[in-house]
Copies of this chain bind each other. A is one copy, B any other.
Amino acid sequence: MSLVSRLKRLLVGKPIATKHAHNERLPKRFALPVFASDALSSIAYASEEIMLVLATVSVGLLSYTFNISIAICALIGLVAISYYQTIHAYPQGGGSYIVSKTNLGPFAGKVAGASLLIDYILTVAVSVSSGVLAIISLAPQAQTYMVEIGIVAVALITVANLRGARESGIFFAIPTYTFIVLVIAMIITGLFREGRPVPTEIAQAPVKELSWVYTFLILRAFASGCTALTGIEAISDSTQAFKEPVARNASQTLAIMAGTLSFMFIGSSYLAEKFHVIPMKVTATDFKTVMAQLCIYIFGPGSWFFPALQVATALILFLAANTAYADFPRLSSFIAKDGFLPRQLGVVGDRLVFQNGIVLLSVLSTILIVLFEGDTHKLIPLYAVGVFLSFTLSQFGMVFHHLKKGSHWLNVGISGLGGSVTAVVTLVIFVTKFEYGAWLILVALSAILIVFSLIKRHYTYLGEVLTLSEDDTVPIVKTTALLLVPRLHRGVLKAIAYSQSLTNDVRALHVTLDPGRTEDIKKEWNRFGADIPLVILESPFRSLVDPIIEYIDQAREEDPHTMITVIVPQAVPKRWWHSVLHNNVALYLKVALGSRRNVVVTNVRYFLP
C-alpha cells in the first residue's frame, strides 16, 4: 500500500462495502445532533445579531429584542409545520431542491438548489467563526488567532465527515446534548435570579419610544435574527439517513428540534433583556458574546458553569458546521446526477460518503473564513437570504403538490401561508441587508445558475457526440512506435523489446544535444538496436522536445491514419526523491503533444535494482 493510501486509511478508516449501506442509517437520538446542531446552535448568535443591529442606533432600543424573538419563533413554528408536511410527502428526501424541481419546474429547482449550496457554505463559515468567538470569550489571548483556529476546526470536521455518517452521529451527540442541557439550565436559573439593575449606559440612552422612524432598523434586526431558522430544512433534505419508518422518525425529530429551538431562543432573548446585556464588537478588548455575558451575570464569573457553557457552545457550533457537511454533499450529488454539477460530486466514496462534496465544502468555507477574517457579524448579512428563498420555493412547491394530489384544503392553506410569509421575509432580508452584503448573494446565485447551465450544456453535448449510432464501426489503424534513445543503457533494452512486441514499424529517435556523442550512440545502437532503424535528429536550439515534435508532425502528415506511439524509457529510482536527479521527458512530451491527434505517449519504466 502506498504512503498516500496508508495516510488516507489512517485518517478516514477502512472502506465500507456497498451492501453495508443500510447500517449507516441513524436512529433518532443520533439524527438529532447530526441534523439539528445547525438550527440549535444558532442560539449562540441569533439574539446577539438582533441586538447588534439595534445597538448601532442606540442601546435604548435593545428592549425590542424580546418582541422580535417572539415574531421569529412564530416563523419557526410555521416553517417547521410546513417541512413536517414535506417529510411525509417526500420520505425519500431531497428537500427544497426536489420539491421545487418536481412541482415548480427545473428553473425553480435550480434556484432552490443553488441557494441552499450557498447557505451550506455560509453555515460552515458562520458556525465555525461563531464557535471561535465562544472560545475567545473564555480565553481572550486567543483573539489574534481567530482565523487560524477556524481553519483548524474546519479541517477536523472534514476528517470526521470523511470517516462516514454513523461515526459522526456518535461523535456529535455528546456536545449537542450538553449544550441543550446547559442552556436550558441557564434559562431556568436565570428566571429565578434577580435581574441586573439598568446600567447607566442604557438609562442615559436617548430612545425608548416606538417610532415609525425605526421601522427599517427593526426589520433589519428581525432579518438578522432569522438566521435562527437556517438549518431547519436539513432534516427534510436527509430523511434517507433516518432509520425506518423514515417519515415518522424524521418528522418527530423535526418537531423536537423546533420546540427546543424556540424555547432556548425566546428564553435567552428574554434573559438578555432582563439582565440588560449590551452586545460587544469582536474587536473589543476583553470581548464576550451575549451568551457569555449572560452566563456571568447569572452564575458569577468564577462559576464552573461559565467555562462549561463556552466549551459546549464552541463545540456545538463547530459541529453545527456538520449539518452542512451532512447536507451539502448529498444535495450536490442530487444536482450532479441531474447533470448540473460535475459527475464526480455524485460518486460515493469508499466510506459511503460523498467525499468530493465534503472536500469542496471545506475549501469554499475556509476561503470565506479567511476573506471575512472570521467575523460572524460580517458574514451574517450574506446568510439567510438563500435559505429563505429556498423555503419559499419549497413551500409553494408543496402547494402545487397538495393540489395535484387533491389533499385537504388545510394542507394547501398551511403551505400557502408558509410560502407567502417566507416570501415576504426573503424580501425583508434582501432589502434590509442589501448594502451589507446581500447583493453578493445575488451575484453568487446568478454565477452558480450560469455554471449549472454551462455544465448541463457540456454533458448534453457529450451525450450527443459520444452516443454510438448504427453506422459506427471500429476503424482499422496501424501503429508506428517511436522509441526515444537519449543514450544506450540497460533500461533501454526493455523498451526496445516492448516496442518490438507492439508493432513491426519501430524507429529509434536520438536527439543530438551533445554532438560529440552522436557517433558513440550510433555504434552502440548497431550492437543492441536489433533491426530497428536509428533516426538522428539535430537540435540547433538544444531543445530535446522540439525536434521530436517536428518529426512526429512529419510522420503524421505522411500517413494520417497511423497511430504514433512515442515510447519513453524511464528509470524508476528506489527512492522517490531520487527522481529530481532524472529528467522527466515523457511529461514534457505529453504537454507539448497535448493538442495532436493520433499520438500516444507511453512511459516504459525500468526499475533500478
Chain A residues within CB distance 8 Å of chain B: 2, 4, 15-19, 342-344, 347-350, 455, 458-459, 461-462, 465-468, 472-479, 488-491, 493-494, 496-498, 500-503, 524, 528, 530, 540-543, 563, 565, 571, 573, 578, 580-581, 583, 591-592, 594-595, 597, 600, 602-605, 607-609
Contact = CB atoms under 8 A, between A and B. Distances in A.
Instruction: Give the interface centre of A4, A491, A501, A607 by most chain B CB atoms within 10 Å.
Output: A501
B494 A458 contact: no
Contact of A543 (B15, B474, B493): B15
Contacts of A475: 493-494, 497
A481 to B, nearest CB: 9
Nearest to A592: B2
Contact of A581 (B458, B473, B605): B458
B343 A581 contact: yes
The DSSP consensus for interface residues of chain A is mixed
Contacts of A605: 597, 600
Contacts of A608: 461-462, 465-466
A349 B467 contact: no
Contacts of A461: 608
Given A15-B543, A530-B474, A563-B501, A466 B479 contact: no
B474 A490 contact: no
A476 B478 CA distance: 21
Contact of A571 (B347, B466, B468, B594): B466
How many chain copies does the complex carry? 2
Nearest to A351: B541
Contact of A490 (B468, B477, B478, B503): B468
A527 to B, nearest CB: 8
B493 A473 contact: yes
A608 B460 CA distance: 13
Closest 8 CB pairs of A and B: A466-B489, A15-B541, A17-B540, A479-B501, A350-B541, A477-B497, A475-B497, A502-B502
Given A474-B496, A490-B465, A498-B600, A349 B503 contact: no
A348 B494 contact: no
20 contacts: A350-B541, A350-B543, A465-B608, A465-B609, A467-B489, A467-B490, A468-B488, A472-B528, A474-B493, A474-B496, A474-B530, A475-B493, A477-B497, A479-B498, A479-B502, A498-B563, A502-B503, A565-B602, A597-B605, A600-B604
Contacts of A597: 605, 607
B493 A542 contact: no
Contact of A474 (B4, B479, B528): B528
Contacts of A465: 490, 608-609
Contact of A602 (B17, B580, B600): B600
Nearest to A593: B605
Given A466-B571, A600-B602, A542 B496 contact: no
A524 B468 CA distance: 9
A9 B223 CA distance: 55
A138 B17 CA distance: 68
A602 B488 CA distance: 24
Contacts of A348: 542
Contacts of A17: 540-541
A501 B561 CA distance: 12
Contacts of A540: 17-19
Given A592-B2, A603-B600, A583 B528 contact: no
A447 to B, nearest CB: 15
Contact of A573 (B458, B491, B541): B458
Given A19-B540, A477-B501, A543-B350, A581 B468 contact: no
A339 to B, nearest CB: 10
Contacts of A349: 542
A523 to B, nearest CB: 12
A169 to B, nearest CB: 22
A563 B597 CA distance: 25
Nearest to A455: B581
A597 B344 CA distance: 30
Contacts of A571: 462, 466
Contacts of A350: 541-543
B474 A497 contact: yes
Given A491-B466, A502-B479, A573-B458, A581 B342 contact: yes
Contacts of A496: 474
A344 B350 CA distance: 41
Given A16-B541, A498-B600, 9 more contacts: A18-B542, A455-B581, A466-B490, A466-B491, A468-B490, A468-B524, A468-B528, A474-B493, A498-B563
A349 B494 CA distance: 30
Contacts of A466: 489-491, 571, 608
Contact of A478 (B501, B528, B583, B591): B501
A595 to B, nearest CB: 7
A540 B15 CA distance: 9
A591 B343 contact: no
Contacts of A479: 498, 501-502
Nearest to A17: B540
Contacts of A501: 477-479, 503, 563
A275 B2 CA distance: 68
A530 B474 CA distance: 8
Contacts of A603: 600
A481 B473 CA distance: 20
Contacts of A609: 465
Contacts of A467: 489-490
